[in-house]
Amino acid sequence: MAVIIRLPHVGESVVEGTIGEWLKQPGDTVERYDPLVEVITDKVTMEVPSPVGGTLLKVLAQEGETLPMGAPIAEMETDEDLPEDSPPPEPAVIADYGQSNEQPGTIGYLVKDVAPVGPTGGGPDPAQTLTPDSETPVGGPRLSPAVRRLLREHGVDPSRITGTGMGGRITREDVLQHLESHPAAAAPASGDAADQDEEHLPLTPVRRMIADAMVRSASQIPHAWSTVEADVSGLVALRAESRASFEGREGVELTYLPFFIKAVAEALAEHPTLNASWGGDKIILKKKINIGIAVAAPQGLVVPVIHDADKLSVPELARAAQDLTGRARQNKLTLNDVQRGTFTLNNTGALGSISSQPIINYPQAAILTTEAIEKRAVVREDAIVIRSMMNLCLSFDHRINDGAEAGSFLQAVKGKLEGLSPGVPLN
């Protein structure tokens, strides 16, 4: 049988050898341990003895050739088994073999999900994550591992606990004291305490991420709320008028959502502090207007993002919204779809809600809900008339904006929606 003879691994720090003189020629009979070939390494010049006895068939490496250890150098015919080294030899890997030994410059790397960007879309983009502190709230209360564990075990919302630690931090003692004074809360949220009156559902990873994100927002952002009422009778008429032709022309269903997004995007451009986030010792204004839209997907809440929403027309917004909500429901969103949101819009009206107090999508500055459009009896010029009315509910980070800015923003959205009427071009 023919076997391949390899350049053996020899020497404490040697990875390659140069073939010197072949001491046997093809056709020669070789005894086991007979010197076969001379090999020159950095450290020694040596004669490599044959690992088997037989006949040299072929020389695979020529004199003067430099090879990595483990490389084939000859073929021999033998009746003996070629004893296996243990572990079996692997050719040493030598980069840019025979050329310069320069290290390759960049080999690229995988940016992992370093922050929970998933369902709520509010995570900072990867570039920002690599430079810590850029958007991390400084001095804000942080939860220690022990506190987080206790909250988790007992299902307690930290916003209900007053921190007594440094800078208002919630300490482990604070949680324990809270549990003592609220015995109901003290029952562990999971595990053995389940009795017959309860059923304990295990948390899905998405549920847990949503929970963590909500806790983070609720505990770190001081929320304030404001609601205005808008008369959208014109919008209702406009949609009724153009719906059929729009859908025929664009191939997309015409809902109210693209109008809402457009109004919000325009109002954000006029009110940059609503398109911002808290930077500890500064306020970070976002130059892009990327609007997240909350979607109830089967696995839970997700917030895909329409990037540069202010640059899109109503038909484009309609298409983008349909595409994102469709893919959200099929669980086909990409990482990009849920990243870098700067403001969130939740069309709670689709669920029939008429008023909400939403939790801000951390670390954004505000979140707006568009509530159900209802015909209501309202007074216009001292007469009671029936108009299509809706509520716009805003939650905003009170560190960044006061009621005045928030109110001005809401009025802007309201004005843009009320300005719509049949005949207005859809762009």
Partner 1 sequence: MPRTESKSKKKSKEAAPIPGPTLTLPEGITLDDLVDCYRQMVLIRTIDERIWALNRQGKVPIAASCQGHEAAQLGSLLAVEKDSGCFLFTYYRDLALKIGVGLTPVEVMCSFMGKLGDPYSNARQFPLQGADLRHRVIQISNVVGAGLTQATGYALACKMLGDGTVTLAYFGDGSASQGEAHEAMNFAGVHHLPLVFVCENNRYAISVPQSSQMAIDDVADRAAAYGFPGFVVDGMDLLQCYEATRKAIAHARNQGPVLLEMKVERFMPHTTDDDDRRYRPAEELEEARRRDPIVTLAALLVDHGALTQRQADDIKTQSTKMVDEATDAAEAANLPDVSTIHDLVYAP
Partner 2 sequence: MAVKTVIEAVREAIQEEMRRDSSVFVMGEDVGRRGGVFLATQGLLEEFGETRVVDTPLAEASIVGMALGAAFRGMRPIPEIQFSDFMWPAANQLIGEAARVCYGTHGQVQAPLVVRIPYGGGIRGGLFHSQNVESYFFHTPGLKVVTPATPYDAKGLLKSSIRDNNPVVFLEHKKTYRLVRGEVPEDEYTVPIGVADVKRRGESLTVVSYGLMLHYCLEAAQHLAQEDIDVEVVDLRTLTPLDTSTVLDSVKKTGKLLVVHEDNITGGVGAEISALAAEHAFDHLDGPIIRLCGPDVPTMPFAQNLEDAYMPNTEKIAHAMRKLAQY
Least distance (Å) between residue 65 CB and partner 1: 18
For partner 2, the closer CB: 144 or 408: 144
For residue 352, the tally of other CB atoms under 10 A from its CB is 9
- Candidate ranges 37-45, 58-66, 124-132, 248-256; the one touching partner 1 (CB under 8 A): 37-45
Joined together, the tokens standing for residue 355 give 């008023």
Active site annotation includes 398: yes
Residue 315 interacting with partner 1 (CB under 8 A): no
Residue 85 interacting with partner 1 (CB under 8 A): yes
Residue 20 binding result from partner 2, partner 1, none, given CB thresholds of 5 to 8 Å by partner type:
none
Angle ∠(295,366,294) on CA atoms, nearest 5: 0
Active site annotation includes 231: no
Residue 46 interacting with partner 1 (CB under 8 A): yes
Least distance (Å) between residue 177 CB and partner 1: 45
Residue 11 binding result from partner 1, partner 2, none, given CB thresholds of 5 to 8 Å by partner type:
partner 1
SS3 369: strand
**CA-based nearest residue to 391, from 228, 256, 224, 225:** 228
Q: Please select the residue that binds partner 1; options are 28, 31, 47, 402, rule is CB under 8 A.
A: 47
Residue ranges in contact with partner 2 by CB under 8 A: 144-149, 165-166, 169, 171-172
For partner 2, the closer CB: 69 or 175: 175
Residue 51 interacting with partner 1 (CB under 8 A): yes
Which residues contact residue 189 at a Cβ distance below 8 angstroms, ignoring those fewer than 6 apart? 152, 153, 154, 155, 200
- Within positions 2 to 21, which residues make up the interface with partner 1, using CB under 8 A? 8-12
351: exposed, middle or buried (C-beta count within 10 Å: 0-12, 13-18, 19+)? exposed
Task: Compute CA distances 132 → 39, 169, 314, whole Å.
Answer: 54, 21, 37
Q: Please select the residue that binds partner 1; options are 2, 29, 45, 149, rule is CB under 8 A.
A: 45
Joined together, the tokens standing for residue 182 give 């609220």
Residue 53 interacting with partner 1 (CB under 8 A): no
For residue 80, the tally of other CB atoms under 10 A from its CB is 13
Joined together, the tokens standing for residue 177 give 């004291």
Q: Are 252 and 322 in contact (CB under 8 A)?
A: yes
Q: How far apart are CA 128 and CA 340, in angstroms?
A: 10
Q: Taking the mean position of all CA atoms in its chain, how far away is CA 38?
A: 58
Least distance (Å) between residue 25 CB and partner 1: 19
Least distance (Å) between residue 27 CB and partner 1: 22
Q: Please select the residue that binds partner 1; options are 56, 61, 69, 74, rule is CB under 8 A.
A: 69
Q: How far apart are CA 109 and CA 416, in angstroms?
A: 46
For partner 1, the closer CB: 21 or 96: 21
316: exposed, middle or buried (C-beta count within 10 Å: 0-12, 13-18, 19+)? middle
Q: How far apart are CA 293 and CA 302, in angstroms?
A: 8
Which position among 9, 223, 307, 398 bears the catalytic label? 398
Least distance (Å) between residue 54 CB and partner 1: 15
Q: How many residues bind partner 1 (CB under 8 A)?
A: 19
Residue 10 binding result from partner 2, partner 1, none, given CB thresholds of 5 to 8 Å by partner type:
partner 1
Residue 169 binding result from partner 1, partner 2, none, given CB thresholds of 5 to 8 Å by partner type:
partner 2
Residues involved in catalysis:
398, 402
